[in-house]
Structure 1
Amino acid sequence: MRLYAAVAAGGFRRYATYRGATLAGVFTNTVFGLIIACTYIALWDERPHLGGYDQAQALTYVWIGQAMFAVMVLQLGGGFEADLMERIRSGDIAVDLYRPADLQVWWLAQDLGRAAFQFLGRGIVPMCVGALLFPLALPSDPLRWLAFLLTLLLGATVSFALRYLVALSAFWLMDGSGVVQMSGLVSTFMSGMLLPLNVFPGGFGEVARALPWSALLQVPADVLMGERGAAGALAFQGAWAVVLLGAGRLLQRAATRRVVVQGG
């Protein structure tokens, strides 16, 4: 456990060194939050209870999304996947497999360290700006905030598990950029980043809320706003984390049986 704690700390420190990128990310998320918030105000003025949210909840959802954008890597390219795919392509993955450490847990620890920094360094400021400028439906109950933090941890684990599966596709593909782009589009839409999944009608909405991407944003937002019970939300996220991490383990086992060094 000490090894993986050190790896997580290293992941935190790695992203903490990019101060300029962090400030740019804070500025970008704040600006996009303002644009989306104004759009939501116009939309909720026309449909005051769209998706079961009032306007304050809808605005809260906007700023939670901006705070969690980098934490959950709601567009691929901000996490470990590019590094892992390059190591697979170059053949350096063979060195990783000989290390006295589990490959999947190693990358998970590093990614959780990254997520912790992104939450503290890039997530809190946009949320505070939103709270200053708009009437948000934020809870006063500390237990709900604690439950929210737990959903962030499990959501980040689900996010890792999804991206780990994407990264492992490089064992079979010469260029995994197409898979990365497709996965990024699905993640952005199905997580509820564009619109809350609660506004989708009928069977499509039910399916969207049952898929693992909802664990990244929709579930934590609903827990924070009191729209979903913490126990059920954590069970949902935990179940998807176990399933997806297990799938990653199986795919890793199948891939490492047929490692092909491409180049080098």
Structure 2
Amino acid sequence: MPTYWSIASASFRQYSTYRMATAAGVFTNTVFGFIRASIMFAAIASAGGELNGYTIAQAATYVWLGQALLAPIEAFGTREVSQRVHQGDVAIDLLRPTSFLGLHYAQKLGRSGFLLLGRGIPPLVVGALVTGLALPESPLSYLLGAFSLLLAITVAFLADMMVNLAAFWLLETRGLTIVYNAVMNLLSGFLIPILWFPDWLLTIARATPFPSMIQTPIDTLSGRVPPLEALPLVATQAGWLIVLALMAHLMLRAGVRSVEVQGG
């Protein structure tokens, strides 16, 4: 455990040195937050002030929490592991005296910690000052929301890792990444709340892990879904975590075996 803590701490310090990139990320997140908020406000206003359970205040909270959590959750993923597989550097990772998935997860947690503080909180503060936020009434929403955020980070990490591990069998993973990001964007609730979907698309979304990455932590943290009603949503996140962890582990074992068979 101390080893992984040291890795996470080093990852946090590493990303804290990228000050200009952090400032650019804050600016971009804030601008896109205003764009998304204006679109959602217009849709709610045209619907008479409420749309499928969302008022203007709840929509503002949804948008700014989404902008704040996008960077630390990293739902769009990273391509570092797939590049290391293609370049052969993954062999070094597999020889380290740490779990391959544990190593990258520790790096993810350290990176997410900094991104939450450096790129997540500032846009949220700007949104609170300009449009206002609908804060939860129960303190339990904050506690359960923090746990839901950790689960969301983990689920997103595992799903992204599976996309990266496909590099063991694919010469190029950019096409798979594009498809993954397109589906994730839609079904996670990042673009619009999944409750705004038609019934058939809502059913499809709920059958995937994507809402557990964005929609669930936002609903839980914002208090739009009360703590007791949010418990099944958090349990669903935990279920997806177990399923994806098992699948990622099996993919890693199969990928390592394929490299050994090929003489890598």
For normalisation by structure 1, the TM-score amounts to 0.93
Partner of 2:239: 239
Instruction: Identify unmatched segments of 5+ residues in structure 1.
Output: none
Partner of 1:18: 18
Q: Aligned partners of 1:14, 1:179: CA distance in 2, in Å?
A: 29
- 2:67 partner amino acid: Q
- 2:21 partner amino acid: A
Partner of 1:52: 53
Q: Aligned partners of 1:243, 1:51: CA distance in 2, in Å?
A: 31
Partner of 1:73: 74
1:192-211 alignment, distance < 5 Å: 192-211=189-208
Q: Aligned partners of 1:199, 1:60: CA distance in 2, in Å?
A: 16
Q: Give the conservation status (yes or no) of the 8 Å contact 2:159–2:244.
A: yes
- 1:134 partner amino acid: T
Instruction: Identify unmatched segments of 5+ residues in structure 2.
Output: none
SS for the counterpart of 1:87 is helix
Q: Give the conservation status (yes or no) of the 8 Å contact 2:58–2:224.
A: no
Q: Deviations along 1:52-88, whole A, 9 cap, x unmatched?
A: 1111111110111110111122333xxxx42211211
SS for the counterpart of 1:96 is helix
Partner of 2:252: 252
Q: Aligned partners of 2:107, 2:59: CA distance in 1, in Å?
A: 33
- 1:246 partner amino acid: L
Once the two structures are TM-superposed, the CA of residue 165 in structure 1 deviates from its matched residue by 0.1
4+ long deviations beyond 3 Å: none
Whether 2:109 is the aligned partner of 1:112: answer yes
C-alpha spacing 1:210/1:55, structure 2 compared with 1 (3 Å) = farther
- 1:222 partner amino acid: D
Q: Give the conservation status (yes or no) of the 8 Å contact 1:197–1:205.
A: yes
Q: Aligned partners of 1:90, 1:55: CA distance in 2, in Å?
A: 49
Q: Aligned partners of 1:239, 1:117: CA distance in 2, in Å?
A: 27
Partner of 1:32: 32
Q: 1:88 aligns with which of 73, 85, 90?
A: 85
Once the two structures are TM-superposed, the CA of residue 261 in structure 1 deviates from its matched residue by 11
C-alpha spacing 1:67/1:257, structure 2 compared with 1 (3 Å) = same
Partner of 1:98: 95
Partner of 2:128: 131
- 2:114 partner amino acid: F
Q: Aligned partners of 2:64, 2:19: CA distance in 1, in Å?
A: 22
**Paired residue total:** 259
Q: Quote the sequence identity (%).
A: 43
Q: Deviations along 1:168-201, whole A, 9 cap, x unmatched?
A: 0111111111111211111211111111111012
Partner of 1:175: 172
Q: Aligned partners of 2:207, 2:216: CA distance in 1, in Å?
A: 10
Whether 2:40 is the aligned partner of 1:43: answer no
Q: Aligned partners of 2:44, 2:261: CA distance in 1, in Å?
A: 54
Q: Deviations along 1:206-248, whole A, 9 cap, x unmatched?
A: 3213421101111011112333334222211111011001100
SS for the counterpart of 1:136 is coil
Whether 2:144 is the aligned partner of 1:147: answer yes
- 1:233 partner amino acid: L
Q: Give the conservation status (yes or no) of the 8 Å contact 1:91–1:260.
A: no
Whether 2:187 is the aligned partner of 1:190: answer yes
Q: Give the conservation status (yes or no) of the 8 Å contact 1:191–1:217.
A: yes
Once the two structures are TM-superposed, the CA of residue 140 in structure 1 deviates from its matched residue by 4.3
C-alpha spacing 1:194/1:41, structure 2 compared with 1 (3 Å) = same
Of residues 152-161 and 230-239 in structure 1, the stretch that sits farther from structure 2 once superposed is 230-239
Q: Aligned partners of 2:239, 2:19: CA distance in 1, in Å?
A: 36
Q: Give the conservation status (yes or no) of the 8 Å contact 1:75–1:185.
A: no
